[in-house]
């Protein structure tokens, strides 16, 4: 009887110990790591809607959806004939105005001055002869030796010769002095305006080519060759590959445990066992309700703060909208707050912040 009682006590003790062990294990499994903060979010990137500066008909679309493009790479062109014609006309006008200005700045040539003087001297002789002839008729007319009509005709000829001489004299004086400062200034202004028009035409000619504004992936090819486009009509949608981040949300109770620049590790279900290095690059200054896209139902009713955890992804595996888990070691030293892409990603893959 005593032995049986001992066996019952022993069995009860074993059951109690086993139960306590299971409870402790379950508690250990359920208890969160106080030194590790786990957040949930989605991969987020920026998009660029690439469009031409001018309206026109698309001539070439040089990349396809899914192609990687580099900043400055030619990706589309407009029909350029009208832009080329406008540029040629503007350059010709600028060249013409330049020649006019150069002629004024150079002043009168010696040959021009000599020609003006010869013309003035010739008209001076005519003027003197006509003046003598008029004086003679004017003296004879009162005595009846010449008619009044002869005197009047001689006077008209004399006055015309005088006007011609005075005009030739002014031409000679201007030839010696050279162009006026006002004329030079006007020619300079006309040349500057022509140059500006030529520069604008050249810019419009170059704007008929569309270049990738940044490194990225062609997400959507919106238009095709032959389409009429305008500055308000995107030709491509480009997903920028740098920077790339995970948009996550932290409850207010955990907000004080993280700092800008803290390093983090990022994982996704798409690549099990693979982690990506990253760092906290942005903390929202205002709270919000957790968006419905976050895969944590227990957080959806809470006020949270948005984070951007920038990621190092040299192989381009992280895609827009991909669910991601972010783990932040809360024991990292205070100096970790200075971490940035060049430090975390090793320089070559450092996102631009």
- Which residues are registered as beta bridge partners of 312? none
Q: Does domain 47-79+207-239 have CATH number 2.40.50.100?
A: yes
pLDDT tens digit sequence for 44-100: 888 899 999 999 999 999 999 989 999 999 999 999 999 999 999 999 999 999 998
State the pLDDT at residue 340: 58
Predicted confidence band at 240 (pLDDT cuts at 50, 70, 90)?
confident
Spatial separation of the C-alpha atoms in residues 299 and 307, rounded to whole Å: 15
DSSP conformational letter for 340: -
> Burial, 235: exposed, middle or buried (Cβ in 10 Å; 0-12, 13-18, 19+)?
buried
**CATH T-level fold of 33-45+240-345:** Elongation Factor Tu (Ef-tu); domain 3 (2.40.30)
- pLDDT tens for each residue of 18-50: 443 434 334 333 345 678 999 999 998 888 999
The model's pLDDT over 288-337, given as tens digits with 9 standing for 90+, comes to 776 655 555 555 557 889 999 999 887 878 888 899 999 999 888 865 45
| Residues forming CATH 2.40.50.100 domain(s) in the chain | 47-79+207-239
Q: How far apart are CA 192 and CA 179, in angstroms?
A: 19
Measure the CA angle with vertex 45, ends 43 and 47; round to 5°: 150
Q: How far is CA 182 from the centre of its chain?
A: 40
CATH 2.40.30.170 residue spans of the chain:
33-45+240-345
pTM: 0.59
**pLDDT given at position 25:** 36
């Amino acid at each position: 009887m005593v032995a049986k009682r001992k066996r019952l006590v022993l069995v009860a003790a074993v059951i109690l110990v086993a139960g306590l062990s299971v409870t402790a294990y379950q508690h250990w499994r359920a208890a969160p790591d106080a030194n590790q903060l786990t957040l949930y979010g989605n991969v987020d990137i920026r998009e660029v809607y690439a469009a031409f500066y001018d309206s026109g008909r698309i001539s070439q679309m040089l990349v396809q959806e899914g192609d990687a493009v580099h900043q400055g790479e030619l990706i589309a062109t407009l029909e350029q004939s009208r832009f080329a014609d406008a540029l040629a006309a503007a350059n010709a006008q600028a060249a013409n105005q330049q020649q006019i200005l150069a002629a004024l700045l150079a002043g009168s040539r010696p040959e021009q001055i000599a020609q003006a003087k010869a013309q003035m001297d010739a008209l001076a002789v005519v003027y003197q002869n006509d003046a003598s002839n008029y004086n003679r008729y004017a003296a004879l007319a009162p005595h009846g030796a010449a008619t009044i009509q002869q005197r009047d005709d001689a006077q008209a000829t004399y006055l015309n010769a005088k006007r011609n001489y005075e005009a030739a004299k002014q031409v000679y004086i201007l030839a010696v002095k050279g162009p006026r400062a006002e004329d030079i200034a006007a020619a300079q202004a006309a040349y500057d305006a022509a140059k500006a028009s030529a520069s604008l035409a050249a810019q419009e000619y170059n704007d008929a080519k569309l270049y990738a504004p940044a490194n990225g992936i062609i997400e959507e090819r919106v238009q095709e060759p032959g389409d009429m486009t305008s500055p308000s009509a995107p030709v491509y949608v480009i997903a920028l590959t740098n920077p790339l981040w995970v948009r996550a949300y932290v409850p207010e109770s955990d907000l004080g445990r993280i700092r800008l620049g803290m390093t983090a590790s990022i994982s996704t279900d798409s690549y099990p066992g693979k982690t990506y290095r990253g760092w906290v690059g942005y903390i929202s200054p205002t709270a919000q309700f957790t968006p419905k896209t976050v895969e944590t139902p227990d957080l959806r009713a809470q006020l949270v703060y948005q984070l951007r955890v920038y990621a190092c992804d040299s192989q381009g595996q992280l895609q827009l909208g991909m669910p991601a888990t972010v783990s932040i070691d809360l024991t990292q030293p205070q100096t970790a707050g200075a971490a940035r892409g060049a430090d975390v990603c090793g320089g070559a893959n450092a996102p631009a912040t």
